[in-house]
Amino acid sequence: MKILLLGYGKMGKTIEKIAVDKGHVIAGKIDISNRSDMDQLSATDVDVAIEFSSPESAFENIKYCLEKGWPVVSGTTGWLEHRSEIESLCKEKGGAFFYASNYSIGVNLFFRLNRQLARLMEGQDYKVSMTEIHHIHKLDAPSGTAITLAEGVIEELNNISGWKLAPEDDNGNLQITSKREGEVPGTHIVRYDSDVDQIKISHTAHSRAGFANGAVVSAEWLVGKQGVFGMDDLLKNLD
């Protein structure tokens, strides 16, 4: 499989190593300094693009790939106000687009656990809150993973109408505390507090390898398909 890497930071380099170890070919490595190099690639030079760039570049990168006819797997967060445009373009072009806020299989199992716990908490006297911790290079806050977790809670708890970054007013909202520390790959904690106890679930990534491997697996799965997909579609095949 010929993979175009869009974004060649630490995540892009980790994806490259895993992809090459699995026998794939890197068709190109694109970042902000050489974006024009994509124009030299033909439709047949790339089987799939994996996009982990920046919030500022993601929309144009994904749009370019879909217009070129390349399936694209994206893990960049902070650009999702344009997601409906991308999904419409994907359908218009008969293309393939796969998006996830987090490609770790463990995190996606954590998403399911989060929703199940929120469902059990409906009607109980607990206050929910969340903390996410990432490396100092992460540009957006809260993380896309934290937003996905928050959306799961909001769908299950009738007394939660949205989310807010702490320390904003939490009246009717789930408060998310975002911390940026060192080179932390990612930690997410969901807490339920009452006057008598606390229930807490957490996921801690030890490295970027879990995210990168999930992105490569998603790219392998996406090739040959048409439509808009996410991790739930992939995990159906892993159940």
Residue-level pLDDT at 1: 96
Q: Is 205 annotated as a binding residue?
A: no
- Of 65, 57, 61, 52, the C-alpha closest to 93 is 65
Rg value, the chain, Cα? 19
Q: Is the pLDDT of residue 239 over 70?
A: no
Residue 144, pLDDT score: 87
Active site residue 127: no
Q: Residue 190's pLDDT is what?
A: 98
Phi, psi of 207 (to 5 degrees): -160, 175
Q: Which two tokens stand for residue 106?
A: 């463990």
Give the model confidence (pLDDT) of 26-76 as tens digits: 999 999 889 899 999 998 999 999 999 998 999 999 999 999 999 999 999
Identify whether the C-beta of residue 3 lies closer than 8 Å to the C-beta of residue 48. Answer: yes
pTM greater than the 0.95 cutoff: no
Whether residue 238 has pLDDT greater than 80? no
Same domain, 98 and 109: no
For residue 116, the model assigns a pLDDT of 96
8 annotated as belonging to a binding site for a ligand:
no
For residues 44 and 88, membership in a common domain is answered with yes
Pair (91, 166) in one structural domain: no
Q: Which domain does 142 fall in, by range? A: 105-204
pLDDT of residue 34: 93
Q: What is the pLDDT of residues 177-206, one digit of tens each?
A: 999 999 898 999 999 999 999 999 999 989
Whether 75 has a binding-site annotation, put simply, is yes
Q: Is 211 helix (H, G, I), strand (E, B) or coil?
A: helix
Average pLDDT, the chain: 93
CA end-to-end span of the chain = 25
If asked whether residues 110 and 121 sit together in one domain, one would say yes
Residues 13 and 40 in one domain: yes
The active-site residue out of 24, 68, 134, 203 is: 134
- How many folded domains does the chain comprise? 2
pLDDT digits (tens, 9 = 90+) for 203-230: 998 988 888 999 999 999 999 999 999 9
169 and 228 share a domain?
no
Residue 102 pLDDT class (50, 70, 90 cuts) = confident
Whether residues 140 and 175 share a domain: the answer is yes
CA atoms 164, 137, 106, 98: torsion sign: positive
**138, 200, 203, 206: which one is catalytic?**
138
CATH number, domain of 195, equals 3.30.360.10
**Are the beta carbons of 215 and 76 closer than 8 angstroms?**
no
Q: Angle at CA 29, nearest 5°, toward 26 and 33? A: 170
Query: Is 142 found in the same domain as 70?
Result: no
224 in a labelled binding site: no
Question: How many C-beta atoms surround the C-beta of residue 62 within 10 A?
Answer: 29
Tell me whether residue 206 is one of the annotated catalytic residues.
no
User: Average of pLDDT values for 19-25?
Assistant: 97
Q: What CATH number does residue 82 fall under?
A: 3.40.50.720
With 70 as the cut, is the pLDDT of residue 6 above it? yes
pLDDT tens-digit map of 111-152: 999 999 999 999 999 999 999 999 998 878 999 899 999 999
